[in-house]
Amino acid sequence: MFESAAPTPRFKPSFPIKLPPLRGGFVRFLLRISVILVPLILMRACLVTYVPLDQIGLRQVSFGMNKGLQKQLVEPGYRRAISGYETIRTFPRNIQAIEFTNDETERGADHRTVAAINVPTVDGYPVAVDVTVLYRIADPFLVTSKFGFGRGYEDNVVMRFTDPAIKQHLGELRAEEFYRDQRIAKVHDLKKELAEKFRQNGLELADVLIRQYDYPDTFQQLTEQKKIQDQSVLTNRALAKQAEVDTRLKQTAAEGQNSINVRSAEFQAQITGLNAQKDFYERSKHAEADLLVKSAEAQGTEDINRAMEGAGSDKLLRLRKGLAILNGIQGPIYISEDPTDIGKLTGKH
């Protein structure tokens, strides 16, 4: 008799899946399942917790005789954790990493990334070094006791010790030695020092990777200037050394010439002495010979005089006179008489 004033809808909702009508048996089944599952779920939530495989746990008791953090580690798996009485704190047990780099492409959500380490080298060049520190938690109880829960150990241990250690060890190198064997020795000392400091704080150092070195833009220009200065210094040193060698050479030559002159004077003095000795020897021998000759002549004269005074001296005088006459005759001599008759010859004269 009356028609509805509401317009007829153009679209009607339709459900492709038809729910079965609820009946008393199905409701009772759900209730029974709920009575069994709900207590189990509550018990699971209040009494048991799950420790993942890549983590390790520590049990923290809120009250009672064993109140506080327990030293015994909680291994991975389903473990007892009574809600309100105790709590299991978990820590990563796998290798963790901290990146020191300025490259934005190396940042990731799975590890912490901070700025690269600026190492001042001994020759005055700041070198930005990219470093990766790999470590793991070795003693969760010691880490928690010192730095609390959370990741405070990253700031208080890893970053606190890594930055100054790298600056200390690599800062002893020159800029060009980062690509030489000296760097390997310094990195070895760096790892040894960091490993000991990490161990004292409950961490285990896995490795320290020195991955990249970024030199300043003015490095090439400064290096060229430094090389020129070094070459100038070396040149000046070589010139100074050469001048020193020349001075020593001249000094040695002068000493040698002086020694030659002294030796020559000594030899000349020796020669003069020998000549004087020779002359003295000759004069003394000549004098001795003259003395002997004159002595012999004097002795001969004396002997002649004595002979003249003795018997037969008149004949000797006549003989000498005859010899003198013969020596005074010039030209041929014709002998008609006995030339030995001195008496006749002397009688004629």
Alpha helix ranges (H) inside 310-341: 313-328
Distance between CA atoms of 61 and 216, rounded to whole angstroms? Answer: 55
**pTM score:** 0.51
Query: Between helices 181-200 and 160-170, what is the axis angle to 10°?
Result: 150
- In this prediction, residue 335 has a pLDDT band, given cuts at 50, 70 and 90, of low
**Domain finish residue from 91, 107, 139:** 91
- In this prediction, residue 77 has a pLDDT band, given cuts at 50, 70 and 90, of low
**Domain finish residue from 216, 250, 270:** 216
- 96-100/112-114 β-pairing: parallel
Query: Do 107 and 178 fall within a single domain?
Result: yes
Which DSSP string do the residues of 207-227 spell out, in sequence order? EEEEEEEE--TTHHHHHHHHH
Is the residue at 7 inside a domain? no
Residue 194: predicted pLDDT: 92
Largest CA distance in the chain: 243
pLDDT in tens, 251-276: 888 888 888 888 888 888 888 888 88
Distance between CA atoms of 117 and 164, rounded to whole angstroms? Answer: 9
Residue 15: predicted pLDDT: 44
Kind plus residue range of the DSSP H or E element containing 42: helix 24-47
What percent of the chain has pLDDT above 90?
3
Is the residue at 65 inside a domain? yes
Is the residue at 318 inside a domain? no
Query: Do 236 and 145 fall within a single domain?
Result: no
Is the residue at 341 inside a domain? no
Residue 1: predicted pLDDT: 36
Averaged pLDDT score across all residues of the chain: 76
Least confident of 39-48, 139-148, 204-213, 236-245: 39-48
- In this prediction, residue 23 has a pLDDT band, given cuts at 50, 70 and 90, of low
CATH of the domain at 176: 3.30.479.30
Residue 183 has pLDDT above 50, yes or no: yes
Strand ranges inside the chain, DSSP E: 48-51, 55-61, 68-74, 77-80, 86-92, 96-100, 112-114, 117-120, 126-137, 203-214
Query: Do 115 and 174 fall within a single domain?
Result: yes
